[in-house]
Amino acid sequence: MKRSPLALFAGLYLIFLYAPIILLPLFAFNDGTIIAFPLRGFTLGWFADLANTPALHEATLNSLIIACSVAVLATCLGLFAARAVTRYKFPLKGGILGFIMLPLVLPEVIVAISLLVVLMQLGINASIFTIILGHTLLCMPFAIAILQGSFAGLDVSLEEAAVDLGETRAGAFRLVILPIVTPGIIASLLICFIISLDEFIIAFFLSGNEPTLPVYLWGQLRFPARLPVVMALGTILVTLSIVLLIVADIFRRRGLRRTGQSETGGFL
């Protein structure tokens, strides 16, 4: 790489991007109650504290239930949409897809309060279930975007070739389509899981008395004494996200390679 001003700028920009993530573990392992420099020393105490917080365990369980349900729901809906978009022509295709992708750009507050108002009006209490509904709406565009990549590499004649070579429709699906789109499905599941796990606004508006991890975190931010514990929890969350993300990307790339498509950059 050339040592140009541009490369220097790119380096500084990466530092800017990663500054919060780098600081997070510093404070999580810092033996001091104040979140400020200088650091005091190494401790695992804050992580130990996490184990002794029942409210946190409850929130974690809620978050996991929500994230798993959302991942499955959004990916199933995404499968329908991705197959329809890549395989069939139908009127208003662009408009319909644009509408489904709308939550990508709409401010989350708008989505959250409009959902909330409807639910209140219908007399449905905010709960884990309502968060699942909201998160699925939010994750569906991401699932569609990822699965579209998998389905784009799925030439119609592949399915026909399998049938021509003696397989039934079911056999063709199992032996040809499924193996080709599976990496995309796994990537979609993981990405939806990450989004749901980290999502705050919709969960905050729709959670009622069943907080998710980010909602619990938000509550803790008010208490300065709890901040180191929050840092420890954040470290775990961020690490988990990055690990899942890397796994998801490996699967996505494997999917692309299988269908012989070229790399077109990361998610989004």
**Angstrom distance (rounded) from CA 48 to CA 39:** 19
Q: Which is nearer to another protein, 57 or 93 (CB)?
A: 93
Q: Supply angle C-alpha 57, 65, 206, rounded to 5.
A: 90
Smallest Cα–Cα separation from 61: which of 176, 211, 193?
211
Stretch of residues binding another protein (CB under 8 A), selected from 32-40, 43-51, 54-62, 63-71: 32-40
152 touching another protein, by CB under 8 A: no
170 touching another protein, by CB under 8 A: no
Query: 97 to 116, contacts with another protein by CB under 8 A?
Result: 99-100, 102-103, 105-111, 113-116
Exactly one of 55, 155, 223, 247 binds another protein (CB under 8 A); that residue is 155
The half-sphere exposure of 157 on its side-chain side, counting CA atoms within 13 A, is: 0
Q: Supply angle C-alpha 93, 157, 179, rounded to 5.
A: 90
CB of 76 to another protein, least distance (A): 8
Exactly one of 217, 228, 232, 251 binds another protein (CB under 8 A); that residue is 217
Instruction: List the x/- string, 132-151, binding to another protein by CB under 8 A.
Output: -xx-xx--x---x-------
User: Which pair of tokens denotes residue 197?
Assistant: 């796990």
Residue 42's SS3 state is strand
42 touching another protein, by CB under 8 A: no
The half-sphere exposure of 19 on its side-chain side, counting CA atoms within 13 A, is: 6
91 touching another protein, by CB under 8 A: no
